Chain A
Amino acid sequence: MTDYRIGIDVGGTNTDAVVMDGDDNLLAKTKTPTTEDITSGILNALDVVLDDSGVSEDELDYVMLGTTHATNAITERRGLNEVGVIRIGAPATQSIRPLLEWPDDLAAAVGNNVAILDGGHEFDGRLLNDLDEEQVRAQIREFSDVDAFAVTSVFSPVRDDHETRVAELIREEVGDDVPISVSNEIGSVGLLERENATALNAALTSVASEAANAFVEAMDERGIDANLYFGQNDGTLMSVDYAIRYPIFTVASGPSNSVRGAAYLSQVENGIIVDVGGTTTDVGAVTEGFPRESSVAVEIGEVKTNFRMPDIIAIGIGGGSIVSTDGGVTVGPQSVGYKLTEEARCFGGETLTATDLEVAAGTIDIGSETPAVDADIVEAAREYVRERVEREVDRMKTSADPVPVVIVGGGSILVPDDIAGASEVHKPDHYEVANAVGVAIAQVSGEVDRIYSLDEMDREGAIQHAKDEATDNALAAGADPDSVDIVDIEEVPLSYLPGNAVRIKVKAAGALDH
């Protein structure tokens, strides 16, 4: 079997696509403009690479998609579900109501339906309060108009009984059609951040299912009968069903795909990745081939969350960045973005962009004309970019030792080859479509992040439990049972708590199930 695959990454400016064969050879690639409806841009890219590669629709086995539907929906407050946000933990937690810290327009967009009901557990799994099923049923009936439910119970990463039971009660009261997000499947300890992430996830399920359906229909129209997957924040894939249930896990898939793709193209398993796009440059780190996770709360739509997100720093420098020469030369953060081909001087426009400088210097040849730019300005702008990139690369490092740096993305030419603190600098072939390569080569994974009390279970038992659950999660996401491996185990003793509490994080990953 040839296992032809298409990887597609939808970015703010460009939609990139690649065709790869079963041995991960790249057969065709393209960069096409992202369209407002997203789907037609995806189809444009798809048509180009199928045409160039000579691979026919019915030879395709897999289509992998990295998309920004969910991110855009949050930023623009568009298409969000009305959510019934149920917190289980009273009498505790009443001093901070759900959504208190959300921006008013975002809270309004999800309907501001919140309730704090009896129940929850202590850190060691003891009962905090009994779940009052009649109270829960009454609340569900009061939320009869909502499109989705988000359920968060105190210390559910330790014991999820109450969340599971509330989900059952919702099913009994309103049937199987209303999506339910439960917090222990979304985030970790930190009630507000986990509840925020769960509520955002619940708000996104309609957007996600519309996007997935549009994608599936488009594939059907093209006569493509391939397995469809979505890229997720940790650089792995999930099935369409999973993506509809957990859309929040797609919000950072773009930068993660770039990190994975850059690591694959350069064969650098550990190092720093610099992805230079049209408007911004993302700097991230790759550890054993996977994007390094952020250790602090990540804000999405100005809301603090705590689920797995890549550790990425964005700088306002890209190919479309506007160059200013008023008092010292600066580059960005203002950008012409997707209007590069209209507004940049090399395309006959009026605006001096970072791309124009390289055209003027003769390092690249795009556009209709060669703008005349003073060599001193080119030099000063390059130094400006170098300094900014070097600083962020340094921030992503964990020690002073030099590390490999991989530069990818359409604007790679802007970054010099000699970066301070780098042991070696790679600009691999196909650098401009690293994100699409990243999603095309991705594995599927499952993760667990839980607190175990070692008074109830021995350490080996706890780790085995976490491994089994991570493996189950990987299988549920579509991994081939024969290829699933545990790729990461992290154990954090919580020594300031009695009862030998330990936090165990396990990740399992495997190849796509054929």
Chain B
Amino acid sequence: MSLPQELASIAEDFNALSEQERLQLLLEFSDGLPELPERYADADLEQVVECQSPVFLAVEVDDDAAHTVGVFVTAPRESPTTRGFAGVLVEGLHGLPAEQVLAVPDDFPSTLGLTRAVSPLRLRGMTALLGRIKRRVRAATDAATDAAAEH
């Protein structure tokens, strides 16, 4: 499995910093997490129960040839770590073809150099979030393949 370019460069950025600075970078991702689009304002989104705080996730897979993936995540302001994890994944995965999203190694979060700065237990929230996103993408592409097979 290989890492999409955007995620690889995020991982590079984190690893180039001292541990204290890595937290600051995660805070920037947290601050910069995009608002949910209007169409999700009232939607009942998925709660990622493994995260220590409520996280809501929506994944869209376009029916174009590449099955372009849209990732939308939100978490409360009081949960900046979760927002930071979400920010990394949104920036790294949003707009990629489904195939590339599915190829992201499940242990990507552990390559950011955050294990000590954040603690392994907390980092699991990000692993869970990545797992949820991939599961949604897989389900959507499987459904598309099935639908195509029926025609």
A binds B: no
Which residues of B come within 8 Å of A, CB atoms? none
- Residue numbers of A with Cβ under 8 A of B are none
